[in-house]
A and B are shown apart, each in its own frame.
Chain A
């Protein structure tokens, strides 16, 4: 008999050591998330995947599943707080969806739609962030960075290159690249790196290949991000 816990009343089996979000995905239960990626060590920073475990709130990407846990996820209270988190991420950076190459492929945009975010609600911070187009094949638009650290983890753990890192702290926290000039073109980054494939938003942009798929026909245009079957097909490739 496999051990089980429940999410919103649904019985979910799990294996020892699995996190709540891992077990939930296998059982076809979607928990909103941005910094989580099934192939990488969880970071637990975006807090979108926060659930209530036996009444206590915790990030489901870092919390291991336990026998008979009672997990709440798809509730008005949690979704409302998640929506606020997406609003915070929108006003913290410079996200102009209509002009973004990643529109329709962007997890922040898709999650915001899915959670019913209609306005940014807060005043925009309008940070001043430069774009790095120094690399011949790749561009970094830091305006869209949500500090999920997925490219940091991919470059460190898969590519063994440590091209990316976070520096500064608080609201000034930012993504940097591993070169004295601070430019991507002076690093050993390559478009075939894993780090090039994991950005949930539109920081990492391939040059000379804009809008290959028309807006309206993109991944999250066709089905919402909460549609796990379609999401799994893309992520586990």
Chain B
């Protein structure tokens, strides 16, 4: 991952562009692969790309400028990014960052004078259960300590290539603490595909097993599925097969695990029924852009249950009649790509992907991995598709929806990693058995990423309907002040609400579960989340682009003691505007953390208020910060008195 001196810019660009068939829809992949060799997207790289791809420079620049992990300015041979989720903050990441900066004689966000290294922060990297964490040239290092920081600094100073760093640096844990349906499953590769085929062939075999105990049912069905089944292609010669599989999905009542909770079977059905123009096809996309701060369950599913996920995608392909699939993996999970490619290769060898899957003529499906490059908004399905097409990750205008006009304007389903894992199991156990798990409106199980103030952070799978209190008990959380469920865009719950239950009826969640004990300042939590939304706003629509910045400014104003109740009204008004005018869910939920904190932890705001009357945000002393930095002074004489004492004179 460091500059290979033997290869010229022209050679690198030519190699990468040729690998991707000179296809500009692979722009994000091309930029990433070139940068992995060249360290940044230099003007020369841009020249070569322009020539090799035959696209306007503005197109390349527009895409490269959108994603956090593409650099249009040199960022050094070593690019260190500290995960800056609130959980990393609580584990002391800021002290470690300062330590590294002073160790390496570099200022945060700037390139070192020798051009060797840059140190900065990035949004949650998905290691909240084992932070503080950093990415060094996109490789994750967890469990940071003072000692480890010093070691990293030494390795950078000695210019040791990252691949030669001690392997224990790159070890991380799955931390699976509670297993249920998905995490207990141990299916053989191909099992769910075979089960789906069997169902597609025999529509009458839908209501298998009526045992009371769902777990026993899974076992019995597992045995059945393992027995040899004559297979037939479901979609090409037996069009009824698709309908059977989709019915099975609908019977399961599985709802999307990405947070919105749309009925998966309905999505598949809409895509299956979408008309195809000549030359068009249908696509299966797995959304592994797990960007919601505090969520890391997809990392574990892809690390330890990749077969199950790919199996689910293959089943989906069978159901909707797709030949191509994409796994859109967030850029922060670059370190898992080799593992996942290996699983895909093995599955091709096992005849579970590719042509004539399991020996069935005409049955064809394959999966490509696309990496993101640091953009939370790409978790929104239409933004994800834009990114897959090599564009800026801006959410599309809807309707039309991806099920009819998705990837390259063709019918596409986009589902969460966990949704596909669940779909694979539904094919084995049957939709009806699955629907009996969980609660009436929230069938099945949900995997939670628990982090923050608890003894056993990690991965917990529960059937829907579990209470917050039970989860807190299981993870060993004491003196809990609050729990943030579903990440910053979700809900903040106070102790009086811990009897509430997880499910679409009560507390919906995409899987983040961050615990805050009585020692935490909830204002800091809200402020961290507000900055997160500002950083991740795509900038397309006015309300979110400007509103998230205004909200951040308001929070910083409150933090500096210049707030008044007037500002609460401003936040409330901003929320209304973002709710009604924003282009996508990012803007619509951006005010949630602040509003929930005001509603439930008002005292943390009150103690920051200096006055009941309006106080202007302008702070004369703060305005002199630039001058202080330029002169290198920070003594008392370089400061004005605060606004309040100013007024008392």
A91 CA / B583 CA spacing, docked (Å): 20
Task: Point out the residue from A62, A81, A166 that lies within 8 Å of B392, measured CB to CB.
Answer: A166
Instruction: For B538, list chain A residues within 8 Å (CB).
Output: 169-170
Q: Does residue A229 face the partner (Cβ distance < 8 Å to B)? A: no
A193 and B59 CA atoms in complex are apart in Å by: 19
Chain A residues near B545 (CB-CB < 8 A): 92, 147, 170-171, 173
Q: How near does chain B come to A140, taking the closest CB pair, in angstroms?
A: 14
- The residue in A46, A89, A162, A165 that gathers the most chain B C-beta atoms within 10 A of its C-beta is A165
- Is the C-beta of B22 less than 8 angstroms from some C-beta in chain A? no
For the complex, give the distance between the alpha carbons of A91 and B582 in Å: 18
CA distance A62 to B548 in the complex (A): 24
* A47-B583, A170-B539, A171-B537 known; A89-B61 Cβ under 8 A: no
- B247 interfacial contact with A, CB 8 Å: no
Chain A positions within 8 Å of B537 at CB level? 169-171
Give chain B residues whose Cβ lies under 8 Å from the Cβ of A168: 65-66, 539
0 or 1 for each of B574-599: is its CB under 8 Å from A? (1 = yes): 00110011110000000000000000
- How far does the Cβ of A183 sit from chain B's closest Cβ, in whole Å? 12
Q: Are A50 and B548 in contact (CB under 8 A)?
A: no
Given contacts A88-B547, A173-B539, contact A167 B583 (CB under 8 A): no
B56 x A165 contact (CB < 8 A): yes
A-contacting residues, B534-553, CB 8 Å = 534-543, 545-550, 553
At the interface, yes or no: B569 with Cβ under 8 Å from chain A? no
> Assuming A178-B58, A180-B57, is B583 touching A45 (CB within 8 A)?
yes
A123 close to chain B: CB less than 8 A: yes
Cβ contacts under 8 Å, A62 to chain B: 397
Instruction: For A40, list chain B residues within 8 Å (CB).
Output: none
B62 in the interface (beta carbon within 8 A) = yes
Contact between A180 and B581 (Cβ–Cβ < 8 Å)? no
- Is A94 part of the contact surface with B, judged by Cβ < 8 Å? no
* Contact status A89-B542, CB under 8 Å: yes
Counting CB contacts under 8 A, is A122 at the interface? yes
Q: CB of A100 within 8 A of chain B?
A: no
Which residues A167-224 have CB closer than 8 A to chain B? Answer: 167-173, 176-180
Q: Total interface residues on B, using CB and 8 Å? A: 43
Identify which of B61, B580, B583, B617 contacts A44 (C-beta below 8 A). Answer: B583
> In the complex the two chains form, what is the Cα distance from A42 to B399 in whole Å?
13
Q: Tell yes or no: B43 within 8 A of A by CB.
A: yes
B419 to chain A, nearest CB (A): 26
Collect the chain B residues with CB atoms within 8 Å of residue A91's CB.
546
User: Interface code B11-54, partner A: CB below 8 Å = 1, 0 otherwise?
Assistant: 00000000000000000000000000000000100110000000
B375 at the A/B interface (Cβ < 8 Å)? yes
Q: How far is the CA of A173 from the CA of B550 in the complex (A)?
A: 16
| A42→B397 contact, CB < 8 A | yes
Q: Which residues of B contact A89 (CB under 8 A)?
A: 542, 546
Is A84 on the interface with B (CB-CB < 8 A)? yes
Residue numbers in B under 8 Å from A165 (CB-CB): 56, 58-59, 61-62
Q: Which of A86-115 contact B (CB under 8 A)?
A: 88-89, 91-92
Cβ contact of B577, chosen from A45, A64, A81, A180, cutoff 8 A:
A81
Q: Is the CB of A45 within 8 A of B540?
A: yes
**Closest CB of chain B to A187's CB: distance in Å?**
9
A24 within 8 A of B: no
A24-50: which residues lie under 8 A (CB-CB) from chain B?
A: 42, 44-48, 50
Q: How distant is the Cα of A183 from the Cα of B62 in the complex, in angstroms?
A: 15
CB-CB nearest in chain A for B377: A169
* Contact of A45 with B541 in the complex, beta carbons under 8 Å: yes
Docked complex: B165-209 residues within 8 A CB-CB of A: none
Which B residues lie within 8 Å of A50 (CB)?
580-581
A122's nearest neighbour on chain B, judged by CB, is: B550
- Whether A169 and B397, one on each chain, are in contact in the complex, defined by CB atoms closer than 8 angstroms, is no
Which chain A positions have C-beta within 8 A of B583? 44-45, 47
B43–A170 touching, CB < 8 Å: no
B378 CB to nearest chain A CB (Å): 11
Q: Which of B59, B392, B539, B582 is the most central at the interface, judged by chain A CB atoms within 10 Å of its CB? A: B539
- Tell me whether A88 and B56 are in contact (CB under 8 A): no
> In the bound complex, what is the Cα–Cα distance between A92 and B581 (angstroms)?
17
Out of B47, B58, B546, which one reaches A162, CB within 8 Å? B58
Contacts of B543 in A (CB 8 A): 47, 85, 88
Contact between chains at A162 and B541 (CB < 8 Å):
no
A167-B65 CB under 8 A given contacts A47-B581, A88-B547, A123-B553: yes
Question: In the complex, are the beta carbons of B397 and A167 less than 8 A apart?
Answer: no
Chain B residues positioned under 8 Å from A42 (CB to CB)? 397
Contact pick for A176, options B43, B62, B547, CB 8 Å: B62
The distance in angstroms between the C-alpha atoms of A188 and B246, with both chains bound, is 53
* Cα separation A125 to B540 with both chains bound (whole Å): 18
Q: Point out the residue from A57, A64, A88 that lies within 8 Å of B580, measured CB to CB.
A: A57
Tell me which residues across on chain A come within 8 A of B64, comparing CB atoms. Answer: 167
**A173–B59 CA distance with the chains assembled, in angstroms:** 14
Nearest chain A residue, comparing its CB with the CB of B67 = A169
Chain B residues near A147: list those with CB within 8 A.
Answer: 539, 545
Structural contact, A171 and B546, CB atoms closer than 8 A: yes
CB neighbours of B43 from chain A (8 A): 180
Q: Which residues does chain B contribute within 8 Å of A167, judged by CB atoms?
A: 58, 61-62, 64-66
Closest chain B CB from A186 CB (angstroms): 11
Q: How far is the CA of A54 from the CA of B541 in the complex (A)?
A: 22
A44 with B397: CB separation less than 8 A? yes
**Chain B 59-77 against A: per-residue CB contact (8 Å), 1 yes, 0 no?**
1011011110000000000
Q: Complex Cα distance A147/B537, Å?
A: 14
State how many angstroms separate the Cβ of A59 from the closest Cβ of chain B: 7
Residue A14 is within 8 A (CB to CB) of chain B in the complex: no
- Interface core residue of A47, A50, A147 (most chain B CB under 10 Å): A47
A85 to B583, CA, bound (A): 13
Output the least CB separation between A227 and chain B (Å): 24
* Chain A neighbourhood of B397, CB < 8 A: 42, 44, 59, 62
Q: Which residues of B sit under 8 angstroms from A48, Cβ to Cβ?
A: 542
Query: Which of B61, B535, B538 has the most A CB atoms < 10 Å from its CB?
Result: B61
A164 interface contact, C-beta 8 A: yes
CA distance A59 to B398 in the complex (A): 10
Given the complex, which residues of A lie within 8 Å of B549, measured CB to CB?
92, 125, 170-171
Question: Given A42-B397, A81-B577, A81-B580, is A169 in contact with B56 using a C-beta cutoff of 8 Å?
Answer: no
- In the complex formed, the residue of B with least CB distance to A87 is B546
Minimum Cβ distance to chain A for residue B344 (Å):
31
CB–CB B65/A169 < 8 A: yes
Q: Is A162 touching B534 in the complex (CB atoms < 8 A)?
A: no
Within 8 A of B (CB), among A44-95: 44-48, 50, 57, 59, 62, 64, 81, 84-85, 88-89, 91-92
Which 8 A-B pairs rank lowest in CB-CB distance, beginning with the nearest? A165-B58, A167-B65, A173-B539, A88-B546, A162-B56, A62-B397, A170-B537, A178-B58
A interface list, Cβ under 8 A from B: 42, 44-48, 50, 57, 59, 62, 64, 81, 84-85, 88-89, 91-92, 122-123, 125, 146-147, 162-173, 176-180
Q: A125-B549, A169-B375, A170-B534 are in contact. List 11 more A-B contacts (CB 8 A).
A: A44-B541, A45-B542, A46-B541, A50-B581, A81-B577, A88-B550, A162-B56, A166-B539, A167-B64, A170-B549, A171-B545
Chain B interface (Cβ < 8 Å from any Cβ of A) = 43, 46-47, 56-59, 61-62, 64-67, 375, 392, 397, 399, 534-543, 545-550, 553, 573, 576-577, 580-583, 617-618
